[in-house]
Amino acid sequence: MKRFSAAVYGATGYIGSELLGRLLLHPEVELVRVHAAEHIGDPLGAAQPHLEQLSSLQYEAVPEDENAVSPVDVVFLALPHEVSWDVTRRLAATNTRIIDCSGAFRVQSSNDYKRFYGKPHPLPHLLGEFVYGLPELNRDAIRTSRYVASPGCFATAIELGLLPLARAGKLSGRVHTVGITGSSGSGRAALPTTHHPVRAGNLRTYKPFMHQHVPEIVRTLTSAGARDLALEFVPVSAPLVRGIFATSMVELDESVTQEQLNEWVASAYKGESFVRSPQGRLPEVVAVAGSNYAEVGLALGSSHAGKTTVAAFSALDNLVKGGAGQALQNMNLMLGLDERTGLAGPGRYP
């Protein structure tokens, strides 16, 4: 018999899909409720064909009264952030743990939220209650938390790429980042800019310098040791289904060697299960797609006028380490389990 129980809200989306597939195979956690806004009463395979006949569960409507449904140990919210607000407000009256995969509680400043998400936050008193769910930085706080805000996919990639510099005390000033993402990061609904005939064979930027992940990245890296950080982030949509590749360019106020850069990466991720520095190559998406692993590498550029250019590269799967996988990693920590449980397998290659 499994020791814990879980429910997923927003189960027909791509993050929900990844959560369902992995929870059904989790050795310690039983998936007992699956909520969505569509396919009510249908089996899981109606919206997620890869789950056909793998479970007797059916999609249920989101309950209006959380006390009227069976309690669970942990709830995953794979919902738009506006919907997460309402569900979180109701769940707060229960004792369940909440892992929110949206941007609803990733920032702690109401001003930042209004600036980057376009509207005031309706539950500002809860912003400080959510622990930011990046295990490589906040593992101890996640273990004892009731509420976790899982990081954004771009944010996870950029943060992991720059954490070695922040922890070494070398990250300060302006950082220029270009992040390339696959189409699944835009969600299940086809939009004019994400529809396959437009997306395939195309590269385009969107939200330059105003992407909603910027404030969480700056706050996270500052808490890890960065100083006076200003992030200039340009996201790019690419004709990939899965994957994020981020390149961040920084200038250090001193001479460094490639050996030092390698040492900072090794020190930052010593003992980490899901962040690796590839040997003999730089990070690439195909090496991590379909898995909870991320790859990080630093490269030495030129020196001029007393400054040295360094590039930080990172790659991950936006639906796994950048989404559902990281949420499950957080769940394992919150429940006192080995954080690798249900996540240790490699991705698919090629």
Residues forming the active site: 153
CA angle 225, 264, 167 (to 5 degrees): 10
Largest interatomic CA distance in the chain? 66
Closest Cα to residue 332, out of 17, 15, 25, 29? 29
- Residue 178, CA distances (Å) to 54, 142, 234, 238 in order: 40, 29, 5, 12
Q: Are 221 and 253 in contact (CB under 8 A)?
A: no
For residue 107, which phi and psi values (nearest 5 degrees)?
-105, 150
- Residue 157, CA distances (Å) to 138, 244, 251 in order: 16, 7, 19
Beta strands in 186-317 (DSSP E): 204-205, 227-237, 244-252, 275-276, 294-304, 307-316
- The C-alpha atoms of residue 202 and residue 238 are separated, in whole angstroms, by 6
